[in-house]
Amino acid sequence: MRIVTLLERAEKDLWQVDLNLQNFDNDDRTLDLIAYHLQQSIEKTLKFMLSERGVTWKKTHRMHEIHSYFVANGIDYPEEFKEYWRYLDDFESDTRYQADIVASMELINQILPLARNLIQQQLEQQQLLQLGGKLVKQGTVQPLNVFRKEDIDESFS
């Protein structure tokens, strides 16, 4: 059995967004599904970014809590999502459980390109890492020692 990464799951959620957009007939039910899967694609990508850097987190869907793991571990957070935290949190739970909360196509159209870009960046980074690993295995290149800035600063203090 193959292990599916969070990034692959994020891609599936984004695919679900696209599928629902194709069938969108201006109905609240489909709009809520689009919003939910959009939020899930972003959440899973952010958690993938954390896990790739060895960070574990407690189960949460709240964007500010996910952000706190980036800050606590000195990892750059995609700042463009900060202004959408409240909406993304609503997309995750409120559109599914509260009848009076409905996502808006305007917000989805603002957030969707950001999600696509984030996932694309992570996919490209993974492809580069895989390529680098293959080249090292083949002996084409020597592995590089990668240091965090903090490690270098401490060694020269």
pLDDT in tens, 63-110: 889 988 989 999 988 888 888 888 888 777 655 665 555 678 999 999
Q: Cα separation of 148 and 50, whole Å? A: 16
Q: How far apart are the first and last CA of the chain?
A: 48
pLDDT value at residue 1? 53
Using alpha carbons, select from 90, 112, 96 the residue that is nearest to residue 21: 112
153 pLDDT above the threshold of 60: no
pTM of the model: 0.78
6 pLDDT above the threshold of 60: yes
Q: What is the mean pLDDT of residues 38-47?
A: 93
Average pLDDT, the chain: 81
Q: Which domains does the chain have, with CATH numbers?
A: 6-127 (1.20.120.330)
Using alpha carbons, select from 29, 41, 25, 54 the residue that is nearest to residue 81: 41
DSSP state of 93: I
Reported as a pLDDT band with limits 50, 70 and 90, residue 27 is: confident
30 pLDDT above the threshold of 80: yes
DSSP state of 98: -
